[in-house]
Amino acid sequence: MKNSISIFFLIFIGIFMNSNAQDIRVHDPVVIKQNDTYYLYNTGWGIGVYSSKDLKNWKKEPPVFPEKPEWTDSVVPDFKNHIWAPDISYHNGKYYLYYSVSAFAKNTSAIGVATNTTLDPDDKDYNWVDHGIVIRSIPNRDMWNAIDPNLIIDEEGTPWLAFGSFWNGLKLVKLDKNLTKIAKPQEWHTIARRERSFKIPDADPGDAALEAPFIYKKGDWYYLFLSWDLCCRGENSTYKVAVGRSKNVTGPYVDKEGIPLSEGGGTVILKGNEDWYGRGHNSIYNFEGKDLMFFHAYDAHDNGAPKLGIKEIKWVDGWPELEPFN
C-alpha cells in the first residue's frame, strides 16, 4: 500500500509539473523578468499583478493603479478602474506598461502608458508614473479600436505600437523616441483584417472578430500573433491564436499558405478543446533559452474560470508550433 501511495504521488507531481495551465485566474497575461522574479500583468481592477520565481507558484501583488488614472473618465464616463490588456517591456532604463481603457463592445477607447524604474513593490523606488493617453479611438470617427497594445522595437531601433480589434482590423503606428506619443509625421499601417459585413453601422464592432496583436522577432522574421473569434464567454468562447510572418515590421504579414493577414489570412496554432475553452490573447517571451507563449483559457473543470496557460514554442521550417499541441 505504501508503494502504491508513492507511485500515485509521483504520477501526480509529474502531471502537475508538465501542466500547461496555472491555477491563477487571469485574462490577457503579459510577463517580464526582473532579476530572479517574473512579474505577470493582466486585465483587472487597476491592472492585476502576480509575481513568481519559477512560473509555477504565483503570489498576488498590489494592482498598478489603486486609484484609476485621472484622465479615464474623459474617455469612459464613470470609469470603474477595470483596465484591459496591458503590455510590459523594458527600454531606456525604464519599464513601460501600456494599457487599455474602454467601454465594452464599443470603440470608445484609449491606450495609456505608465513607467517605473523597478517592478518590485517593496523597492523604495517603486512608483508608477502615468503619462496619459497615447492613442484614442472615437465612435463614428475611427474604424478601429484603441485597445490591446503591444510595443515592438524594429531592427533600426524605431518603436511601433500594434493594437486594435474588430472593426477594420489591427493597426500599427510609429511612436516617438520617448515611447509615450505618436511620432510625427504620423505613420500608420493595417497589419491584419478579416472581412466585415458592409451594412454594419460604423459604431458596431461587427462580425470581423480579431484582436490582441503580439509581434515577436525571431531570426530574420517578425511574427504577428493575433486572436480570432470570441473571448470572455466561458464555454461559448471560440477564441484561438493565428499567426503570420513578415521580413518587415510593417508587413505585409502572410500565413503558411501565403495569404496576407490583411486579406483574412492566418495559420491557427492554438484553439480550445474539451478541457480548455477559448484559448487566446497570447504574449511570447524568451526565458531561460526557451520561447514561451502565455495565454488565457477557460477551465472546463472549474466552471469555466479563466486560467493562465503556458506552452513552449518549437520552430519548424520557420514556423511556430506549440508543445503539447492539444
> 87, 142, 148, 211: which one is catalytic?
211
Q: What's the gap between Cα 152 and its chain centre?
A: 13
Q: What is the pLDDT of residue 200?
A: 76
Asked about 211 being catalytic, the answer comes back as yes
pLDDT confidence bin for 242, thresholds 50/70/90: very high
pLDDT of 237 strictly over 90: no
The secondary structure of the chain in percent helix, strand, coil, rounded to multiples of 5, reads 10, 45, 45
CA distance 87 to 99: 6
With cut-offs at 50, 70 and 90, classify the pLDDT of residue 125: very high
Q: Is 70 exceeded by the pLDDT of residue 105? A: yes
Please give the pLDDT value at position 5.
39
Q: Which of 28, 87, 142, 229 is catalytic?
A: 28
pLDDT digits (tens, 9 = 90+) for 187-208: 999 999 988 777 777 776 667 7
Q: Domains of the chain, with CATH numbers?
A: 24-323 (2.115.10.20)
Cα 290 to chain centroid, rounded: 19
Band of pLDDT at residue 165, cut at 50, 70 and 90: confident
What pLDDT score was predicted for residue 19?
41
Q: What is the pLDDT of residues 15-47, one digit of tens each?
A: 333 345 678 999 999 999 999 999 999 999 999
Distance in angstroms (rounded) separating the CA atoms of residues 200 and 208? 11
* pLDDT for the residue 197: 79
Lowest mean pLDDT among 53-62, 108-117, 192-201, 274-283: 192-201
Q: Are 149 and 162 in contact (CB under 8 A)?
A: yes
DSSP letter, residue 165: B
pLDDT digit string (tens) for 257-279?
Answer: 999 999 999 999 999 999 998 99
Long-range own/partner contacts, residues 31-38 (CB < 8 A, 24 or more apart): 31/55, 31/88, 31/283, 31/285, 31/287, 31/294, 32/88, 32/89, 32/90, 32/95, 32/119, 32/285, 33/287, 34/95, 34/118, 34/119, 34/120, 37/119, 37/120, 38/287
The whole-angstrom separation of Cα 36 and Cα 31 is 13
- Is 28 assigned a catalytic role? yes
Q: How high is the pLDDT of residue 21? A: 60
Q: Please compute the mean of the pLDDT values over residues 71-84 and round it to a whole number.
A: 95
